[in-house]
């Protein structure tokens, strides 16, 4: 059986092993594949794995041997699942692997906005402490989270885990979700309308998927409804935020700080409005990427392939 991995590098830059997949057949791993090379590279392969490389209708139809596409991620919008279904090709994804890592990262971004740890350390190394008149100094307002309110938009797996950690820091939670599970409510955590969340949160963390209904959910109108000096965190998907509107709100001081791991176009373009914003932290889509989380992703990819080979595919997204 011929197996091709189109873009293996981000999942396994060398600290994990492909042997779990290799045992199923003749494996070729490409670090990256340009879109115009997909058809050539999957030619004759029964099994194809992709992380972010698009597998189009034309690519699927070009290879009559293709049986299974394993997506090495949760989001599978890069695969034309309808064309795959038409061609009888099973597409599986990895629904959960990084809940703890992404929730931890959302808190890391919030904590960075509260303390600016990296920047203070850089100042010390640059001699600012040595030359300081007092025994301590800080360059930004320092913020204590206990007693403050975190608004969580999208109260699914990652949103709930983020809320649990935030509650351990003494925060109260306002959750907004299309579907409500009242069992998750407590005296420190309750569901509210989006407007109530916007009006009462000291920090807002985005954890809903990118759907037409959520695209641009943070825009000048919703920002206007927020508290002055709010902090915004996005570890979900870049297009949830109208970036020019957030830039303006940061530069006017309406939003005190924002920290995002995702932007509208990735890798980020140098004309992205967020690069012109004050008090803005941007990281290169790494919330998912601790080794523990990538190992879990790898294990589930192997389980998905095993289940397919056994004739009872799991995590199928194009039934």
Contact pick of 130, 213, 310, 312 for ligand NAD (by CB under 6 A) = 213
Report the residue number, 73 or 143, with the smaller CB distance to ligand NAD. 73
Give yes or no for residue 276 binding ligand NAD (CB under 6 A).
no
Give yes or no for residue 102 binding ligand NAD (CB under 6 A).
yes
User: In the annotation, is 237 catalytic?
Assistant: yes
User: In the annotation, is 247 catalytic?
Assistant: no
Give yes or no for residue 110 binding ligand NAD (CB under 6 A).
no
H-type helices in 70-208, by residue range?
Answer: 81-86, 99-115, 117-125, 157-168, 194-200
Give yes or no for residue 285 binding ligand NAD (CB under 6 A).
yes
Angle 99-115/157-168 helices, nearest 10 degrees?
Answer: 40
Please, which residues have CB within 8 angstroms of residue 303's CB and are 6 or more apart in sequence?
Answer: 314
Give yes or no for residue 158 binding ligand NAD (CB under 6 A).
yes
**Number of amino acids touching ligand NAD (CB under 6 A):** 30
Contact pick of 157, 190, 220, 254 for ligand NAD (by CB under 6 A) = 157
User: In the annotation, is 140 catalytic?
Assistant: no
Instruction: Say which of 161, 237, 247, 294 is annotated catalytic.
Output: 237
Tally of helices (H runs) and strands (E runs) in the chain: 11, 12
Six-digit token string for 123: 């100042």
Give yes or no for residue 178 binding ligand NAD (CB under 6 A).
yes
Six-digit token string for 212: 């037409």
CA 173 to chain centre: 21
CB of 55 closer than 8 Å to CB of 7: no
Can you name the residues that pair with 205 across neighbouring β-strands?
Answer: 152, 233
Q: Least separation, in Å, of the C-beta of 45 and ligand NAD?
A: 27
> Of 25-33, 56-64, 241-249, 285-293, which segment contacts ligand NAD by CB under 6 A?
285-293
- Residue 199 burial (CB count, 10 A): 14
Nearest C-alpha neighbor of 154 from the set 95, 233, 83, 74? 233
Q: Least separation, in Å, of the C-beta of 237 and ligand NAD?
A: 4
Residues that bind ligand NAD (CB under 6 A): 74, 98-99, 102, 153-159, 176-179, 207-211, 213-214, 235-237, 261-262, 285, 287-288
> Which residues are catalytic, by number?
237, 266, 285
């Amino acid at each position: 059986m011929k197996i091709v991995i189109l873009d293996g590098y981000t999942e396994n830059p060398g600290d994990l092993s492909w042997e779990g997949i290799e045992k199923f057949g003749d494996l070729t791993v490409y670090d990256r594949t340009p879109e115009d090379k997909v058809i050539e590279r999957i030619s004759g392969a029964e099994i194809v794995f992709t992380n972010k490389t698009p597998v189009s209708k034309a690519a699927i139809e070009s290879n009559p041997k293709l049986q299974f596409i394993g997506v090495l991620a949760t989001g599978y919008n890069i695969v034309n699942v309808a064309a795959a279904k038409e061609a009888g090709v099973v597409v599986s994804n990895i629904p959960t692997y990084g809940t703890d890592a992404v929730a931890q990262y959302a808190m890391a971004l919030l904590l960075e906005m509260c303390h600016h740890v990296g920047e203070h350390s850089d100042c010390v190394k640059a001699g600012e402490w040595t030359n300081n008149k007092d025994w301590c100094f800080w360059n930004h307002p320092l913020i204590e989270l206990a007693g403050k309110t975190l608004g969580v938009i999208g109260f699914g797996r990652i949103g709930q885990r983020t809320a649990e950690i935030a509650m351990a820091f003494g925060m109260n939670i306002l959750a907004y979700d299309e579907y409500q599970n009242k069992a998750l409510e407590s005296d420190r955590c309750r569901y509210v309308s989006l407007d109530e969340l916007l009006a009462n949160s000291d920090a807002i963390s985005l954890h809903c998927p990118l759907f037409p209904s959520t695209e641009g959910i943070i825009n000048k109108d919703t920002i206007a409804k927020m508290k002055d000096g709010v902090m915004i965190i996005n570890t979900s998907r870049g297009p949830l935020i109208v970036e020019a509107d957030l830039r303006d709100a940061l530069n006017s001081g309406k939003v005190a700080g924002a920290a995002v791991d995702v932007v509208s176009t990735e890798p980020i373009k140098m004309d992205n409005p967020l690069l012109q914003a004050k008090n803005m932290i941007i990281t290169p889509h790494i919330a998912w990427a601790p080794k523990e989380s990538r190992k879990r992703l790898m294990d589930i990819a192997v389980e998905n392939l095993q289940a397919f080979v056994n004739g009872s595919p799991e995590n199928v997204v194009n039934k």
